[in-house]
Structure 1
Amino acid sequence: METLYNILIDPFVQMYEAPDFLMQVLWEGLVSGVLYALIALGFVLIFKSSRIFNFAQGIMVVFAALTLVGLHENGVPAWLAVPLTLGVMYVLAVGIERVVLRPLVGQPDIILFMATIGVTLFLIGFGEFVFGGENKVMITEALGIPTGALEFNPFGGFVLIEEKDLTAVVMAVLLVFALITFLNYSSMGRAIRALGDDHQAALSVGISLSTIWVIVWFIAGVIALATGIVWGARAGVSFALEVIAYKALPVLMLGGLESVSGAIVGGLAIGILEKLFEIYWGQPFLGGNTETWFAFILALIVLLFRPQGLFGERIIERV
């Protein structure tokens, strides 16, 4: 009983007694959650417009980051390497639409999903052929991303905020704001939303499926580049980033596959909760390393009570 009491109560006592440390943990969880949400947004946009679960989103993050670093290593200035990388992601979007998706229009969803696995394997092989398999360093300073740290003393202790993490949060907020503005107020954004709401009705009024697919995959490429920059600044650029991108899966399970707001809220929730659980319960009582599985367990618990996720639309079948 005493051990159970310690597991349940001691972490909350520590939070109360060390509020500065709690704020530090919350900040680190927030940064991770913002990045999870960014990756999840790429999945959501493609699924909403085409009903394709894009298994390749993770490797797109790696490929975009490697392209940026590779261009800079070959003498391209950072200010030019960024738009050139965006151009590469646009060419990739067009290529995927023309070579992979267009021939498979009307095929079952599982066929399209398997096609994105093929895209993943192609990008892994092509990326290793072009850029090599060794780890690379993100061009943080060349991009103007600050590398210092800010220190705050809210409760007598200190909270350390790395400037590159603060930059990541600001960049993510601006990107999400731009994306929501584009979806809600531009004609192309409304077409994407219409395609997601009613696929057949949108096609019947002349919305071009191929054009929407190219745009959506390009936007997913932009999100992948932004994610690759901020993750690369924190952990370097390597194919291991693809594994980190799979953390978006429990975010999607939690927030719903079709909800932009769900991706944002789900990412933030998982980032903060997994960090709190790791620090206050995982390390003292479970031997640590709970961040590798906590998000998936949390998502499975949510799915037991709400299979469509917290923000997904409830599916009602009438017979």
Structure 2
Amino acid sequence: MEYYLQLLVSGLVIGSIYSLVALGFVIIYKATKVVNFAQGELVMVGAYICFSLTVQAKLPFLAAFFLTLAFSFILGIAIERLILRPMIGEPIISVIMVTIGLSSVLKSLVQLFWGTQIQVFPPVLPQEPVMIAGLPVAPVYLAAFALSIILFLIFSAFFKYSRLGIAMRATAFDQQAAASMGIGIKNIFALSWCIAAMVSSIGGIILGNINGINAQLGHLGLKVFPAVILGGLDSLLGAALGGLVIGVLENVCDGAAKEFLGLGGFKDVAAFIFLVLILMIKPYGLFGAREIERV
């Protein structure tokens, strides 16, 4: 039982990181109706920038953290202005293909500047585990989970109560109606990419402090995709819960497969098997809005 409780705790932590990255997917999709397949590479770039500022530039971790967020904000603007804005009015599949190409470019740049070796962040928090209900839990796990919950609450309040958040929700609901009310649609698109890049960088930094970073970190986007589809592409709550469910499911199923069947690597397929079963029952995800077309 203690073994599975440990798997549950680590699954919740990894799942909370999945929730952050899934939040980036949802934000872009809600504003632009585009699925961003470069989301995992934004996670990777943010993690490497923070690593460089911390290890190579010798900056304090908090300073490196906020500078990374500033860099991610600028990167989001640059991607939207230089790459996505010229694609306005083009078929959605063309825009999606552009994001796939962007993922390859970002991955190649990371490998060019930092190589493919695993890099480890210097310890930020104490290494001595904290006992919770008789289970030893690393402080970095507690900090990661708490930070993910706090950020989700902040973004939920932002979308519900702030003027910019309401403008983003209006744009996602009906772009023409939002434009007629004086909302700058192009500025909302840029803001959605900035927020998605910043959220992804935070996820990358958290994950880097737990497991280290390498060029394979960009694959996180594909691992998070089942969480996005499970919760619903247009639901912030779905992104949060979907990430937690997938994180726990991966860890527990992988542990059970190793213990009872002697199988390794089940973690990589468990989420997709569960996703297929759910979508057979709920095609729009657990919290996704069902589209109704009238003829």
Question: Structure 2: how far apart are the matches of 1:273 and 1:133?
Answer: 29
In structure 1, give the amino acid aligned to 2:92.
D
| 2:83 is aligned with 1:100 | yes
Asked if the contact 1:146/1:163 (under 8 Å) is kept, the reply is yes
Stretch deviating more after TM superposition (122-131 or 27-36): 122-131
What does 1:90-169 align with in structure 2 at a 5 Å threshold? Answer: 90-141=73-124, 145-152=125-132, 154=133, 158-169=134-145
1:303 to partner: Cα distance: 1.0
Task: Report the equivalent of 1:63.
Answer: 45
Task: Report the equivalent of 1:83.
Answer: 66
Deviation digits for residues 113-164 of structure 1, max 9, x if unmatched? 11111221221222233333332112442xxx33321124x4xxx4121110
Question: Structure 2: how far apart are the matches of 1:273 and 1:131?
Answer: 32
Asked if the contact 1:148/1:164 (under 8 Å) is kept, the reply is no
What does 1:1-319 align with in structure 2 at a 5 Å threshold? Answer: 18=1, 20-72=2-54, 73-141=56-124, 145-152=125-132, 154=133, 158-285=134-261, 287-319=263-295
Asked if the contact 2:175/2:185 (under 8 Å) is kept, the reply is no
In structure 1, give the amino acid aligned to 2:127.
T
Asked if the contact 2:20/2:148 (under 8 Å) is kept, the reply is yes
1:286 to partner: Cα distance: 5.7
1:23 to partner: Cα distance: 2.4
Stretch deviating more after TM superposition (281-290 or 252-261): 281-290
Shift of the 80–29 alpha-carbon distance from structure 1 to 2, 3 Å rule, reads: closer
1:276 to partner: Cα distance: 2.3
Asked if the contact 1:34/1:271 (under 8 Å) is kept, the reply is yes
Task: Report the secondary structure of 2:215's partner residue.
Answer: coil
Question: Structure 1: how far apart are the matches of 2:116 and 2:241?
Answer: 34
Stretch deviating more after TM superposition (21-30 or 249-258): 21-30
Task: Report the secondary structure of 2:182's partner residue.
Answer: coil
Shift of the 246–139 alpha-carbon distance from structure 1 to 2, 3 Å rule, reads: farther
Question: Structure 2: how far apart are the matches of 1:223 and 1:147?
Answer: 26
Stretch deviating more after TM superposition (255-264 or 127-136): 127-136
1:307 to partner: Cα distance: 1.1
Taking structure 2 as the reference length, what is the TM-score of the superposition? 0.94
Task: Report the equivalent of 1:5.
Answer: none
Question: Structure 1: how far apart are the matches of 2:127 and 2:39?
Answer: 27
**Percent of residue pairs identical:** 35
1:281 to partner: Cα distance: 4.2
The structure with the larger Rg is: 1
Shift of the 162–77 alpha-carbon distance from structure 1 to 2, 3 Å rule, reads: closer
Deviation digits for residues 97-123 of structure 1, max 9, x if unmatched? 211111111111111111111221221
5+ residue gaps, structure 2: none
Asked if the contact 1:283/1:289 (under 8 Å) is kept, the reply is no
Question: Structure 1: how far apart are the matches of 2:118 and 2:257?
Answer: 33
Shift of the 193–67 alpha-carbon distance from structure 1 to 2, 3 Å rule, reads: same
Q: CA RMSD in A?
A: 1.7
Stretch deviating more after TM superposition (128-137 or 202-211): 128-137
Asked if the contact 2:37/2:221 (under 8 Å) is kept, the reply is no
Deviation digits for residues 170-225 of structure 1, max 9, x if unmatched? 11011101111111111001011111111221122221122112211111122112
In structure 1, give the amino acid aligned to 2:52.
G
Question: Structure 1: how far apart are the matches of 2:90 and 2:66?
Answer: 35
Deviation digits for residues 277-299 of structure 1, max 9, x if unmatched? 22234531261321110000100
